[in-house]
Amino acid sequence: MTKNGHLIAGAIASIYPAFIALNSFGLPYSLAACLMTIAGANAPDYLEIRYTKKIVKKSGFFQKPKEITVSKTVLAHRGVTHTILYWFTAFILSYLLINPTVWFHELIGRFSVLSELHDSKIILSLLLGYAFGGLTHLFGDLPNKKSIPIIPFGFRFCLNLWNSGEKEKFMMFLVGVVTCILVGIEANLLTLDRLLEWYAFVSELIVEFFQKIR
């Protein structure tokens, strides 16, 4: 997806972290989570730290060398900043600190760092939104032909369906569907039967979509 495509997808997905923060902390924290989701939607790219560099390019034997400006990144593109495990861990950690299970509540009591984070509503709201925004970015990158790492410096994966920047509206639609499902689960509005109905409906739409583009 393009930069703007990721940004729009992040805005759509921001409903989910905003809903969690609203239920747990209130409206101001909900807005913070919403804004940080949008900010995190392009985080895997801008965390690579892009810069420009001037190089001398030789066009031919009889032509004078030309000085051109090229764009480079400090960290490799779709490398460490695109690692799914990092973003998923950050999201799960923030989610469990907001809504701890029984065993995680015991873990919070044992570690002062977790206890302090658990008491900080604003940090949790910001972390939740930022991490989910990063996951949304990776979700948008998965269908591309260039893979992203699942684990640090390890197994990489891609669906190899289309080039980056293509089918953005379809990906935004999928982000919207997934967001609605997650909000429904969080609000206890979706049962297993309804989830299966959603799955069947979305599966039919996806099959029809790929039949049309072939």
Check: CB of residue 27 under 8 Å from CB of residue 197.
no
Check: CB of residue 39 under 8 Å from CB of residue 65.
no
Tokens 């429904």 correspond to: 184
- The pLDDT tens digits for 54-92 are 887 776 666 777 778 888 899 988 999 999 999 999 999
Q: Tell me what the mean pLDDT of segment 137-144 comes to.
A: 95
- The pLDDT tens digits for 163-190 are 888 899 999 999 999 998 899 888 887 6
Q: In this model, does residue 197 exceed pLDDT 70?
A: yes
pTM metric for this prediction: 0.85
Mean of pLDDT over the chain? 89
What per-residue confidence (pLDDT) applies to 190?
64
Asked whether the CA dihedral 203, 204, 208, 209 is positive or negative, the reply is negative
Q: In this model, does residue 100 exceed pLDDT 80?
A: yes
| Per-position DSSP letters for 93-155, written without gaps between them | HHHHHHS--HHHHHHHHH-HHHHHHHH-HHHHHHHHHHHHHHHHHHHHHTTSSS-EESSTTS-
What per-residue confidence (pLDDT) applies to 171?
94
CA 209 to chain centre: 23
